[in-house]
Amino acid sequence: MAQAQMQVSDEVAIQITAMNKWYGTFHVLRDINMTVNRGERIVICGPSGSGKSTLIRCINRLEEHQQGQIIVDGTELTSDIKNIDKVRSEVGMVFQHFNLFPHLTILENLTLAPIWVRKTPKREAEETAMYFLEKVKIPEQAMKYPGQLSGGQQQRVAIARSLCMKPRIMLFDEPTSALDPEMIKEVLDTMIALAEEGMTMICVTHEMGFAQAVANRVIFMDQGQIVEQNAPKEFFNNPQSDRTKLFLSQILGH
């Protein structure tokens, strides 16, 4: 992998300042401060229940935060619907369970949002869709329904679906956790290819190989807080916090 290719610019893509979130009385996210530059690839890891999914779901406001500030691409996420719409059409998201629309063909899944949200002409949307399907290497499945595809293929379709909206930032919420082991690689390859093109990515995952290969930065979260962040090499070889050490020993210690 040519690390040098992946340029990180100084431009700020996401700025999170002193963000707090509660579920009822439960304090899920505590004082999150985080800056993501354009072109940066960040892997967030941590034990389950540590708030990592909640954090990235806040970035396109699938979850509401109660305190602090999230600025995505210069737009602050408030309860203003116009801002939310703007951010959501700039930020793509890939879910653990794919969440493809089972009643639509793959092609329709890909063209739906461009046609209705971006108001793209249908033909153009279909061309874009086919382009991205080629990119994730399954153009021949365009006319099938999601239920007819394997998990790995579905996840690749889900990635292509997000890309069709031409997002500037991509969020991945445990994209490989629901996959059979032999399918993980094909999805990771797709993500790596995406990273090589310079996409800004935030990825919640436990695939440490992926983190070492493409991430600029690894963030470790526990109990709703950012415990440690570092470049992958440093993070894995020389963890500072005890919690991080424990976590790494648990997931790597077979």
Partner 1 sequence: MALSYVRSEMLPQQKPPVTETGVLKWVRENLFSSAFNTVLTLLGLYAVYWLVTAAYPWLHNGVWTASSLGECRDIIAKNGGTTGACWALINARWNQFLFGFYNQDAYWRPLMAFGMLFVALAPVLYFGLRRPTTLMAGIASVLLVLSLWGVSTDTWHVMLVVCIMAGLTAIAWVAPKKLVYFTAIYPLVGFFLVWGGSVWGPIGVFVGFCLAVAVLMQLQGRIGVIPAAALSVLVACLWWFWVQPLVTTALANALPIGLVDVDSSKFGGFLLSFVIGVTAISGSLPIGILLALGRRSDMFLIKTLSVGFIEFVRGVPLITMLFTASLLLQYFLPPRTNFDLILRVIILVTLFASAYIAEVIRGGLAALPRGQSEAAGALGMDYWQEQRLIIMPQALKIAIPGIVSSFIGLFKDTTLVALVGLADPLQGITKIVRADIAWKGIYWEPFIFVGAIFFVFCFGMSRYSMYLENKLKTDHR
Partner 2 sequence: MAIATEVPKASFRLGMLVYDTRYRSITIQVIVLALFIAFVWWLLGNVQSNLAAKGKDISYDFLFNRAGYDIDQQLIPYTNDSTHGRALFVGLLNTLLVASLGCVVATFIGVFAGVLRLSKNWLVGRLMTVYIEVFRNVPLLLWIVLASTIFSEAMPEVKEFKVTQEMIDTGTPPAASMILFDTVSVSNRGTNIPKPYLDRPLGGTMIAGVPINYSTLAVLLTLFASLWLNARIRASAKAIQEATGVRPVTWWKSIAIVFVPTIALLLALGLHWDIPHFNTDANGVSKGFNFVGGINVAHSFTALLIALSVYHGTYIAEAVRSGILAISRGQTEAAYALGLRPNRTMSLVILPQALRVIIPPLISQFLNLTKNTTLGMAISYLDLKGTLGGITLNQTGRELECMLLMMLIYLILSLLISLGMNIYNNSTKLKER
Nearer to partner 1, 23 or 101 (CB): 101
Nearer to partner 1, 117 or 251 (CB): 117
Interacting positions 33-62 with partner 1 (CB under 8 A): 60, 62
Interacting positions 166-195 with partner 2 (CB under 8 A): none
Helix (H, G, I), strand (E, B) or coil at 128: helix
Closest approach of Cβ 66 to partner 2, in Å? 10
Instruction: Give the amino acid at 3.
Output: Q
Residues 207-236, one symbol each (x = binds partner 2 by CB under 8 A, - = not), give ------------------x-----------
Q: In sequence order, what are the beta bridge partners of 215?
A: none
Query: Does residue 84 interact with partner 2 by CB under 8 A?
Result: yes
What is the helix (H) or strand (E) element at residue 127, kind and residue range? helix 122-135
Q: Provide the token pair at 231.
A: 């470049």
Dihedral Cα 248, 251, 253, 254, nearest 10 deg = -170
Dist. CA 146–CA 97, nearest whole Å: 12
Closest approach of Cβ 177 to partner 2, in Å? 17
CB atoms within 10 A of CB 156: 28
Closest approach of Cβ 51 to partner 2, in Å? 15
Closest approach of Cβ 216 to partner 2, in Å? 23
Interacting positions 143-162 with partner 1 (CB under 8 A): 145, 147-148, 161-162
Residues 6+ apart with CB under 8 A from 109: 100, 101, 146, 157, 161
10 Å CB burial of residue 153 (0-12, 13-18, 19+) is buried
Residue with tokens 């890891």: 45
Dist. CA 237–CA 113, nearest whole Å: 43
Residue with tokens 């930065």: 217
Interacting positions 78-107 with partner 1 (CB under 8 A): 85, 88-89, 91-93, 95, 97-103
Query: Does residue 249 interact with partner 2 by CB under 8 A?
Result: no
Residues 6+ apart with CB under 8 A from 219: 34, 42, 43, 44, 45, 226, 228, 229
20 binds, among partner 2, partner 1, none (CB under 5 to 8 A by kind): partner 2
For the chain, what's the residue count? 254
Q: Which of 58, 136, 165, 183 binds partner 1 (CB under 8 A)?
A: 165
Query: Does residue 79 interact with partner 2 by CB under 8 A?
Result: yes
Query: Does residue 63 interact with partner 2 by CB under 8 A?
Result: no
Residues that bind partner 2 (CB under 8 A): 17-20, 30-31, 33, 67-69, 78-82, 84, 225
Residues that bind partner 1 (CB under 8 A): 60, 62, 85, 88-89, 91-93, 95, 97-103, 112-113, 116-117, 145, 147-148, 161-162, 165
